[in-house]
Amino acid sequence: MTVTAGLAGHSETDATVIEQSLAEPERFAAIFERYFSQIRQYLARRVGTKIADDLAAEVFVVAFAQRQRYDLARDCARPWLYGIATNLAGAHRRREQRRYRALARLDARLVSPSDEDVIADRVSASAAGPALAGALAALDRGDRDVLLLVALADLSYAEVAESLGIPYGTVCSRLNRARRRLRESLGGARQARDR
């Protein structure tokens, strides 16, 4: 197969492309072109760019191998791909947690946004970094996966449910729990700074 540029304007749904790829494997290249960058970005934010480069490539190899099982009733393959990426990232949990701790030690002054509101927010986020990163590392894996799919992949609750193969209600409860724990840690960090 030679992977060529994706379909201009996504004139065909992902489901159509995947269905066609069952007979014509090279068609799957369009899925790669549509989503590689965003999947790699999601993974890089979780496990760092070095590993993400490898893992993102692996996501599409896995997706290709599993395309027979894709639910063709779902037009958009994005949640499916994020689900694969999340599962692959799960094998690097230790690495991910190390990354959170490393990020928590970054200096706020390294961030140089142009907008004043963004500056305030980033300084705030950076100041809360240790608490936030620590809380992220301490979350149950399932809770963290849901939270990061919402925060980093911009998936809707329904898409997260589809992505992870869990009920919609479970997504809501996991997200609520994760957000509550992060709020508590951020609140604790603010109180510590205010003292």
Partner 1 sequence: MDEVTAIRQLLAKPPPPAPEVVAAARARLERAARGTGTPRWYAPRRPWRLAAAAGAAAAVMAGLITAQVIASGGARPAGALTVRELAYRAAAAAARQPAVRPGQWVFWREKTGGPGCGTDCGTFHVWTTADSQKAAWVYRGRIVSLGHGPFVGQPLPSIVPQDRGGGWAVGGETGKIPVSYADLSSLPRDPAALGRYLGQLSLPHRRGWGPPAAREFTIIDMILTSYVMPPRLTAELYRALGDIPGVTVNDRAVDVAGRHGVGFISPALPGGGNMEIILNPRTYRLMGDDLLWGPRHRLLNGTAILQKALVSGPGVWP
Does the protein bind partner 1 through residue 64 (CB under 8 A)? yes
Does the protein bind partner 1 through residue 62 (CB under 8 A)? yes
Does the protein bind partner 1 through residue 142 (CB under 8 A)? yes
Q: d(Cα 31, Cα 60) in Å, to the nearest integer?
A: 8
Taking the mean position of all CA atoms in its chain, how far away is CA 164? 12
Q: d(Cα 189, Cα 193) in Å, to the nearest integer?
A: 6
- Residue 168 has phi, psi (to 5 degrees) of -55, -45
Question: Which tokens hold the place of 172?
Answer: 């809501």
Among 18, 30, 47, 161, contact with partner 1 (rule: CB under 8 A) = 47
Q: d(Cα 116, Cα 129) in Å, to the nearest integer?
A: 19
User: What is the closest distance, in whole angstroms, from the C-beta atom of residue 127 to partner 1 in the complex?
Assistant: 9
Nearer to partner 1, 7 or 152 (CB): 152
User: What is the closest distance, in whole angstroms, from the C-beta atom of residue 162 to partner 1 in the complex?
Assistant: 18
Does the protein bind partner 1 through residue 157 (CB under 8 A)? no
Q: Which of residues 86-105 bind partner 1 (CB under 8 A)?
A: 87-95, 97-99, 101-105
Q: How many helices (H) and strands (E) does the chain have?
A: 10, 0
User: What is the closest distance, in whole angstroms, from the C-beta atom of residue 155 to partner 1 in the complex?
Assistant: 12
